[in-house]
Amino acid sequence: MRFNAKDLALLAKRPSGCFDKEGKLKICRLVGDEKLIEPRERWCRLKGNLLFLMKNKSSEASEVVILERCWVVEFRSKTDVSIILKFQSGEPDLYLEAASKPDCEAWAVALGEANSEGLRNKIQQLRRLIMEIKEERASDEARQFLPSSQVDSLGEPQFTSIQRIANEPKLEFSLACKGLVAATRDRKLNTFIQVSVVHPAEHILTRYSSTEIVEGTRDPLFLTGVTFPPEYPIYEETKIKLTVYDVKDKSQGTVRTSVLPDHKEPRADVGRSFLGCTTFRVGDLVKSKEQQLTLTLRTSDGGKTVGTIEVNLVKMGEFEDGEMGHITTDAQDQKCALVRECTTPEGLSGKDNLPSLNAVLKNPICKLYRFPTSDNKWMRIREQMAETTLSFHVPKELINLHIKEDMRRNQELKDLGELAPHWDNMRKSVIAHCDQMLSMYQDTLAELGKHTGSSFKSSCSKGEKTLEFIPINLHLQRMHVHSPRLKDALYDVITVGAPAAHFQGFKNGGLRKLLSKFEAERRNTGYQCIYYSPENTAKAKEVLSNINHLQPLISSHADLLLNSASQHSPDSLKNSLKMLSEKTELFVHAFKDQLVRSALLALYTARPGCVIKKPAVPRNSAEEGDDLKHQDHPSQIKRQDSIPHHSEYDEEEWDRVWANVGKSLNCVIAMVDRLLEKDSSKIKEGENDPSAADCKVLHAGGDWYEQLYPLVITLKDCMGEVVTRAKQSMAFVLLQELACGLPQCLMLTLRRDIVFSQALAGLVCGFIIKLHTSLHDQGFLQQLHTVGLLVQYEGLLSTYSEEAGMLEDMAVGISDLQKVMFKVIEAKSEDFLPIITGRREHYVIEVQLPAKMFELLPQEIKEGKLLRMYPVLFNVGINEQQTLAERFGDTTLQENINQENLELLKEYYNLFTEKMPPDCLPHFQEQNDLKGLLENLHQNIQAKRRKNVEIMWLAATICRKLNGVRFTCCKSAKDRTSMSVTLEQCSILRDEHQLHKDFFIRALDCMRRMPHRECTEECQMQKVCIQHDTTDGFPKVLQTSRRDIWKS
């Protein structure tokens, strides 16, 4: 950064009244939690975003801290008077200590508001305050001029609403100009229209949107229309102002398309010049007989006529005719991708599914286009981008589950009992570290609970610690196509930033490399602790999960059995016994693993003063098999190599305890059979002697309960003993996993949780939207519960520098999604947000549907069948960093990921062809054999060509043909993602809806003007078209639109 040292020195010496805040603070730098030196007292002066540090009030400034891209950490305790400044750049933190708590709080507020972000928040707050004041003033003024019929009993002005279909835009219209007059005769006009809105209650001009630029004609017909979303406050009394500009320099011509209040005309700088403007009432357009207005364009003084403008009301279900000969285009021999889909959106406009879908999607941005087809007809396209509430809902639910799981694990470690000093010290260290991580999760959850405002995380926040579990720029990108000769179609793509731990950084790589390195190092720590393989560690977690799940169920069924006995209900007794037997059998088989036995041995040797017993009688697996009904003896599996074998250890003790559960159950079963047999004999006797039978029945209920009660108590006691031993042994296994890698193990778990949280939020969003879109597609629903859902991720990350680490994180996060199962349930309330249950590596997402929608599902899904996911990732780096990686670096990571996921895709295809009929696939205009596409994809992956975007297009085509869900990801889901998505959309229009080949480039131009949400919300870009310098190094098919991309 360049700065003028003299000017800064003069600024630091200005009088005290010129500064925002000043005073004494003790200051030092921090690396991690360590202070480099003891804090030294400095006189601090704050001016704007500059913090001057001086030895005393009259000395020169020794240091200047620029308060940008940093945040303030204030400690909330009553005694702590220190705050910390953290910097996104990674430079050491700045520790500041005040003299008192009030002074500390004042400095925290001042520093927090000092940067440009704080200033932007102040400006937004002031704007909102001004708008509120103007709304109050406008309502008072409107009351004086409006007729009394338009004023309600409360005195508020009433306006006429526009009647539209639910969840459809309130108003849509297209624009065209004729006979525009240029300043000079020879001038070829390059025009666009700025659309502004005058609200009737405010009388304030608000910029709303603009069209694309049409070059070289005085009769431009604009392909980009204007659309007002359902929640926009527009009425028949609303006025719309249309301003036409001539663009001399196209790079200066595109104006903001977001809704920005501005009471002044857009300035006419050297890049564009004002031609003319006109205004019309919305009611005039809606009520016009032809649903069309022809308006005269006049200069700003209202005198000179400079042409006319046609406004046509648009309804997606109707067609329009028009001449297209005067539309100019410079597109010749264009190239494009091969991406196809045809989904019939039947029932999507119904009101039944709106509440549940609106619970997930919010704040849509809509764009309207009309493009010519190859047979000279018009097709209409509505493009919509929407946020999702799941960006925050899913991570908060996950963190809450992590907290509960970790608290349960910590308690299990504490319940291990007395251990030898070495193991006890190890346990104390592990618990201390786990408590720190647990506190961090709790703090993160508390901070997310305070979050208000936008429902997505913008890219500039990807380095914020409090938001590290939140996905970046998660949005739905939807294209609704209405063609003259084809069915309406919906095409959805979920766009999201690559799931990665940005706050933790990528200095040492991503999860793929870190996990491999950690596992190799953990194998070499056997002298400190016992090494268990990742498979055995996962098995231990599964056993603990089964215990926590089955034990309360068995206890509940046992109580139901006793209740049935007390009521003397034979049928209920049989049903209760059946459920108890099934759950107990599952419980017993959960411990049918050598891991439990070997872990018990290891735990036994870790006890202080353990005594090893030699079994008195050799094992007899045949006898044991007789004792356990319907059970096989545990297979003999080789012991862990690192566990010493104690020949005198009494291994039969665990077998006896384990077998006692089965024996107790057999006793209960035998007693129930005996009771039922006696009952049936009494009924036969009663037929002969009714009076005697009545007397016996009075005491039968009590007899049943009294005879079953001690057997059920014995079963519960035996089960409790098994649970205690098994829990301790499995907790000991987890202790080894944690102790072998502190603190790296916990940090890797945290990183994996962060990445998984981001990936899962996108997956849940994609599943819900796909389910709503395909509720009337019986073939898809059958595929969903028979085979599962294919989820294809298109990655655009390079394999160079930090992005290689992001790709490693992303690959692991997406792979972890294979362990996620979905379940569709009927909603019992108006809250339709999904419910997440389970534990790490085994989550179930319960998607709630309203009753009318739930009834449309197949019986298998309604009965709660778990639905599998098949996520696959194909990555092709396309930017200039990938050029460096291909020439001077290494692309092995990308090649390995693509090859591994190709095998997963083939596995899904084989499963699909085995279980599903071919007629359940969607129909396409251009049919390609799936087997041939897979072979083509395999050849392209093996070819190892540079920036081979054919891999992306083939994978996307296969995904759509297999009814899958599509994701497109890059670092921040902005430039590269928007380039890919818009090209894919135009390709679909060309291949599936007969887009005229001469208008492919213009269609691409129009769609690439659609702003991503981040630009819309934060107003960061004056123009939203993709700039040339952002596409350096891109393949030609993905570069900006003035390229030869038709013949790809």
- Does position 692 have pLDDT exceeding 90, yes or no? no
CA distance linking residue 290 with residue 171, whole number of Å:
16
What pLDDT, on a 0 to 100 scale, did the predictor assign at position 689? 56
CA distance linking residue 139 with residue 198, whole number of Å:
14
Confidence of residue 690 (pLDDT cuts 50, 70, 90): low
Confidence of residue 1032 (pLDDT cuts 50, 70, 90): low
- Does position 1025 have pLDDT exceeding 70, yes or no? no
**922 preceded by a cis bond (ω within 30 of 0):** no
Tell me which of 558-562, 602-606, 832-836, 1026-1030 is least confident.
1026-1030
Model pLDDT for residues 754-786, shown as the tens digit of each residue: 999 999 999 999 999 999 999 999 999 999 999
Confidence of residue 281 (pLDDT cuts 50, 70, 90): very high
pLDDT above 90 covers a percentage of the chain that reads 34
- Does position 120 have pLDDT exceeding 60, yes or no? yes
- Does position 270 have pLDDT exceeding 80, yes or no? no
What pLDDT, on a 0 to 100 scale, did the predictor assign at position 399? 96
Mean pLDDT of 525-538: 78
Model pLDDT for residues 882-924, shown as the tens digit of each residue: 888 888 888 899 999 999 999 999 999 999 999 988 777 765 5
Confidence of residue 636 (pLDDT cuts 50, 70, 90): very low
Model pLDDT for residues 405-446, shown as the tens digit of each residue: 999 999 999 988 888 888 899 999 999 999 999 999 999 999
Pair 384, 365: CB distance under 8 Å: yes
What pLDDT, on a 0 to 100 scale, did the predictor assign at position 825? 94
Confidence of residue 1024 (pLDDT cuts 50, 70, 90): very low
What pLDDT, on a 0 to 100 scale, did the predictor assign at position 680? 77
pLDDT above 70 covers a percentage of the chain that reads 79
Active-site residue set: 970
- Does position 222 have pLDDT exceeding 50, yes or no? yes
Q: What type of residue sits at position 419?
A: L
- What are the phi and psi torsion angles at 441 (to 5°)? -60, -40
Confidence of residue 119 (pLDDT cuts 50, 70, 90): confident
- Does position 305 have pLDDT exceeding 80, yes or no? yes
pTM: 0.74
Q: Could you tell me which of 941, 851, 939 has the C-alpha nearest to residue 894?
A: 941
As beta bridge partners, residue 278 has 242
Confidence of residue 397 (pLDDT cuts 50, 70, 90): very high
Confidence of residue 253 (pLDDT cuts 50, 70, 90): very low
Confidence of residue 262 (pLDDT cuts 50, 70, 90): very low
What pLDDT, on a 0 to 100 scale, did the predictor assign at position 677? 84
Pair 189, 216: CB distance under 8 Å: yes
Pair 540, 730: CB distance under 8 Å: yes
What pLDDT, on a 0 to 100 scale, did the predictor assign at position 474? 95
What pLDDT, on a 0 to 100 scale, did the predictor assign at position 113? 81
What pLDDT, on a 0 to 100 scale, did the predictor assign at position 1014? 52
CA distance linking residue 3 with residue 203, whole number of Å:
45
What pLDDT, on a 0 to 100 scale, did the predictor assign at position 922? 67
Tokens of 632: 């096989």
CA distance linking residue 12 with residue 15, whole number of Å:
9
Residue count of the chain, please give it.
1048
- In eight-state DSSP terms, residue 211 is -
Concatenated DSSP letters of 153-178: TT--B--PBPP--TTS-SEEEEEEEE
Confidence of residue 484 (pLDDT cuts 50, 70, 90): confident
- Does position 650 have pLDDT exceeding 80, yes or no? no
What pLDDT, on a 0 to 100 scale, did the predictor assign at position 529? 79
Mean pLDDT of all residues belonging to the chain = 80
Model pLDDT for residues 979-1002, shown as the tens digit of each residue: 999 999 999 999 888 899 888 988
Model pLDDT for residues 557-589, shown as the tens digit of each residue: 889 988 888 888 888 888 888 898 888 888 888
Distance of CA 1005 to the CA centre of its chain: 29
What pLDDT, on a 0 to 100 scale, did the predictor assign at position 177? 95
Highest mean pLDDT among 85-94, 222-231, 864-873: 864-873
- Please provide the distance, in angstroms rounded to a whole number, between the alpha carbons at the two ends of the chain: 43
What pLDDT, on a 0 to 100 scale, did the predictor assign at position 674? 87
